[in-house]
Structure 1
Amino acid sequence: MAFDDDATLHAMGYPRKLTRRFHAFDNFAISFTIINIISGIFSAFGFGMGAGGPRILIFGWIGVSVMVLFVGAAMGEIASAYPTSGALYFSAGKLAKRHRGAWSWYTGWLNFVGQVGGTAATNYAAATFIQAFITMQWPSYEGTPQQTVGIATAILLVQALANTYTVQLVAVVNRISVWWLLIGMVVIVVALTVKPSSHQPVSFATHFVNSTGFDNGLYAAMLGLLVTSWTFTGFDGSFHMSEETVRATVNTPKGIMRAIIYSALAGLVLMLALVYAIRDYAAEIGAAAPPVQILVDALGMGTAKLLLLIVIGAMLFCGLANMTSNTRQIFAFSRDGAMPGSRWWHSVSLRTRTPVKAVWLAAACALVLIIPGWWSHTAFTAIVSVNVVGLYLAYGVPIFLRLRLKDFEPGPWNLGRYGRPVAAVAVVWIVLSSVLFMLPQVSPITVDSFNYAPIALGVVLLIATVWWFANARRRFQGPVSYGSPDEVAAMDLI
């Protein structure tokens, strides 16, 4: 089927530059690893304990998972029609009726900033949990923000080196990561189910908690939905890897859907295990890392440390997959001349057939976002908060444009007559969740508790707009075609 893949790419106007080494499982693995239920739930669980408590953690997970499935299905249909590394920005340019360059430009930059923020946030979280493990192992150790930044920088360096010199190994690691997540989840769940002498009663699932500082319980519950939304980001990774995927028109959308479905089911089991293992709600919600404190209280320090290693491993796998996906987006965006120094960033290593320079740009940009954490955790949070909002808005643009296009031509994987209704539900959910991400999350609102996501998003959009009108609109018209199918076929590097 390699010929069909190449013919599809040539029809979109691109020569083949990347090696197709990803099969169906590999494509699924990249998104499953980036969604990363262990990393997402352990990072956001404490927030959910105060914004709705068990009722929202459990039933919010179920509800939001269903909404994310609509987003994934709508994205999958588009991915089947346009299986290219450009993914969201490419399809936005192709689906727009007018102003294709502008739609493509904004989508690409939202996607780029969101992905860089994802890489930075994941590795910063990993560094934080590594510090927590060291403190558990050696109580006299006192972590500092500077040490967290140093550890996160070291992680970035290793991930960049892996994407540069051991590309085949990265593909293998992504396969391993799936089993690490699934087996790790089972180990954590079994430990929390079997070892504690007692659990919360079944009715605890309906327990509601509001410690956000806002009096309105409904508002707190809506904020609690963000726990699941924070976790379900990055499944566009399958889309970005489509030029390296065999039978991409089918395996890419299947990869997106499988990643969401398996994450939803496995995540629900993990969420239930953590909720029912809660011992002292007040003490655990007030801990520096509430889910870690739950493990310690329920299982003892020794077992908790072992399980924390599983969590840290999951976060490291997530960061690596994030960087790989980020790199492909940079490669494709540069191929169409949308980034400064585009000629550099879309060049491909003759040895590995991967965009090595784009790897180091992804690492450098993530480092720029991590560095403010050196002097202010709030500053870091402000910058990477645009991660989720940027990604979901980038998801929403091509789905919205597909809704407007009456003569959309679907690929082999499609939703038939349900395509438009599914896309409409996806757009409504993306708008709603994006608004939630930008609302105040804690009261009273102070400099440290303020939600900087709208400011960060505004800065990104302002820069993109000034750049667009000053220069880009004259040279960037959206995805470019390198010639007819026969002409680009002659340019294939492999």
Structure 2
Amino acid sequence: MSMTPKIDSPHIFGLWSAIGLGWLTLNAFGTLSFIIVVGLPAGGLPVILYGFIGSTFAVSCIVLTFTQCASRFSTAGGAYHYACFLIPNKYRRQIAYPLGWLNYLGWIFTHAGACAIVATLTLGLINLCKPEIDISPRWKLFVVYISINFLCWLFNLVAVRGIPTLELLGCYATGFGFIAYTIALLIKAPKADPKSVFVQVNNETGFKSDSIAILLGLVNSFGTLMGLDGPAHLAEELPRPKVLLPRIMVTVLLSQFIVGLVWIIVLGFSITDISFITNSATGVPILEVIRLGTGSNVAAIVFCIILIINNATSALGSAVTMSRQGYAFARDGGLFLNTRSAYNALVGSQVTCMIISFGSPALVLLITRGRLLPKCEKWNFGVWSTPIYLISVLYSILVVIVSVLPQTNPVTASSMNYTILVMGCLAAVMVFAWILEGRESFSPPKDDITMIGMIPTLSGLNTDDPEMPKERELSFMKSGKVMQHTLKNAIGL
């Protein structure tokens, strides 16, 4: 009779709740509602529309690469661990360390951006209900932003089992809002010229070349599709993750593409006066689009509430993902630690960090020709593997280039894209962290570890995987208290 203790490993997430979290971390409806007007000066609606279609095609190659890895590796590290397992051992520590940092920082920026959107929408709702209240002071936005951050932290710390229910609530609100307001705008809103939606390029960037304006306008499409590996970080809390995760990621991307495509076209035909909506007193142009399109202030208020629910649950979902990725990185010994231009730097840094970490598994597979990719009966692409990896890598390079370019000309202190400065500072921090501690403490996993049930309770291991080395299992069991403390610190960040 085996002396190994029986450990309960409850699965916090199931198929639909994981799809819900993936929906809200990718969140095409909520993100496009907030940033679509921002992209109009750089190329206009045609760039947003075709950029979204092209980006989805390229991103689908990254997701297919993820599905190959997810069907073989079940760990909360996501893209960071996928690349880690595929790198030869002698290079693993040096390459995996910055990748872990980038993936974690990318999710921090994603969460910060979602919280910033919720804070802006909250003040916009106040203005819709009480126009006499002045919402312009920046300190008010900051107070709401900190409050949203605190609530997300609190839920992750003490109410984690309620998060799947809240994510499903956010999905229901999103679905209702998308369907209801799509129908309302199609029926009631004055319609723009189809040329402005499908053909006419707008260039208000200050650059003489329309090509540059188009290139700059692509950053909105890039930013919309950066929550790709959210469900992957739930691998240790899902039943049968190697079976479910690939299906979840493909389902999320395809459904979000349909939602995003329809919503871009609907909003495009509903925007007839750009200058009027961009000067909205609410600070949120989409609310003015809804108010003008439906002719109802109440409709705008309801839409604002839906967007708050959508982005609040998105912020919560990104906090969940951030904490899981941070936990996985900390477990490996690698982690110890609002002006417009600031927001642009936030988005640019998020896009840069995310896309480097997302593109890394495809790059490693391309370089190594998949020699370290374990054999599996499903999710094999045969002769299509190399084109999929190549498109993923080329797209990632393009995103990095565009994300650091200034968005307007001439470049001033207020219009400068500070992404390159932020990334430079982060690179310096990573170098110092490696010198001070990482080179001694960082130990990337050398095999597929399945630790379902250890987040957030860290109560034990999934004993269903016969491939887990016994010594590693015992080591994790002995260090449960240490990891619980590490997880709380990671969530607190």
Normalising by the smaller structure, the TM-score range is 0.7 to 0.9
Q: Does 1:401 align with 2:364?
A: yes
Give the match for residue 50 of structure 1: 41
Q: Percent identity, aligned pairs only? A: 22
State the Cα distance separating 1:99 from its structure 2 match. Answer: 1.6
Give the match for residue 184 of structure 2: 191
1:466 corresponds to which of 418, 432, 454:
432
CA distance in 1, matches of 2:218, 2:279: 20
Match of 1:419, SS state, is: helix
Give the match for residue 291 of structure 1: 286
CA distance in 2, matches of 1:448, 1:247: 49
2:251 corresponds to which of 258, 271, 296:
258
CA contact under 8 A between 2:333 and 2:443: conserved in structure 1?
no
2:117 corresponds to which of 105, 117, 125:
125
State the Cα distance separating 1:303 from its structure 2 match. Answer: 1.5
CA contact under 8 A between 2:191 and 2:271: conserved in structure 1?
yes
Give the match for residue 157 of structure 1: 150
The one-letter amino acid paired with 1:459 is: C
CA distance in 2, matches of 1:230, 1:432: 13
2:213 corresponds to which of 220, 227, 230:
220
1:303 corresponds to which of 281, 299, 311:
299
CA distance in 2, matches of 1:471, 1:325: 25
Give the match for residue 327 of structure 1: 323
Deviates more, 1:16-25 or 1:106-115: 16-25
CA distance in 2, matches of 1:22, 1:412: 25
CA contact under 8 A between 1:253 and 1:413: conserved in structure 2?
no
State the Cα distance separating 1:411 from its structure 2 match. Answer: 4.1
- Structure 1 residues 471 and 21 mapped into 2: Cα distance closer, same or farther (>3 Å)? closer
Instruction: Provide Cα deviations, 1:360-382, integer angstroms capped at 9, x if missing partner.
Output: xxxxxxxxxxxxx3xx5534543
2:127 corresponds to which of 132, 135, 140:
135
Give the match for residue 98 of structure 2: 106
Give the match for residue 20 of structure 1: 11
Instruction: Provide Cα deviations, 1:325-348, integer angstroms capped at 9, x if missing partner.
Output: 11111111111111127xxxxxxx
The one-letter amino acid paired with 1:294 is: V
Deviates more, 1:384-393 or 1:144-153: 384-393
- Structure 1 residues 484 and 25 mapped into 2: Cα distance closer, same or farther (>3 Å)? closer
* Structure 2 residues without counterparts, runs of 5 or longer: 1-5, 450-466, 481-493
Query: How many residues in Structure 1 have an aligned counterpart in Structure 2?
Result: 446
- Structure 1 residues 16 and 245 mapped into 2: Cα distance closer, same or farther (>3 Å)? farther
1:389 corresponds to which of 348, 352, 356:
352
- Structure 1 residues 414 and 63 mapped into 2: Cα distance closer, same or farther (>3 Å)? same
CA distance in 1, matches of 2:174, 2:72: 30
Q: Does 1:440 align with 2:406?
A: yes
Instruction: Provide Cα deviations, 1:290-331, integer angstroms capped at 9, x if missing partner.
Output: 322222221232211211211111110100000001111111
2:470 corresponds to which of 443, 466, 486:
486
State the Cα distance separating 1:138 from its structure 2 match. Answer: 0.9
CA contact under 8 A between 2:333 and 2:438: conserved in structure 1?
no
State the Cα distance separating 1:202 from its structure 2 match. Answer: 3.3
Give the match for residue 460 of structure 2: none
The one-letter amino acid paired with 2:250 is: M
CA distance in 2, matches of 1:326, 1:181: 22
2:266 corresponds to which of 260, 273, 278:
273
CA contact under 8 A between 2:287 and 2:303: conserved in structure 1?
no
State the Cα distance separating 1:268 from its structure 2 match. Answer: 0.8
- Structure 1 residues 120 and 17 mapped into 2: Cα distance closer, same or farther (>3 Å)? farther
The one-letter amino acid paired with 2:245 is: T
2:379 corresponds to which of 414, 418, 438:
414
CA contact under 8 A between 2:205 and 2:408: conserved in structure 1?
yes
CA distance in 2, matches of 1:38, 1:457: 28
Q: Does 1:427 align with 2:393?
A: yes
Match of 2:71, SS state, is: helix
CA distance in 1, matches of 2:8, 2:147: 30
CA distance in 1, matches of 2:13, 2:445: 24
CA distance in 1, matches of 2:164, 2:177: 20
CA distance in 1, matches of 2:36, 2:223: 10
* Structure 1 residues without counterparts, runs of 5 or longer: 1-14, 342-372
- Structure 1 residues 235 and 16 mapped into 2: Cα distance closer, same or farther (>3 Å)? farther
1:182 corresponds to which of 175, 187, 194:
175
Match of 1:184, SS state, is: helix
CA distance in 1, matches of 2:379, 2:30: 31
CA contact under 8 A between 1:92 and 1:398: conserved in structure 2?
yes
Q: Give the TM-score normalised by structure 1.
A: 0.85
- Structure 1 residues 18 and 335 mapped into 2: Cα distance closer, same or farther (>3 Å)? farther
CA distance in 1, matches of 2:42, 2:183: 27
Give the match for residue 235 of structure 2: 242
Q: Give the TM-score normalised by structure 2.
A: 0.85
CA distance in 2, matches of 1:284, 1:17: 54
CA distance in 2, matches of 1:16, 1:90: 25
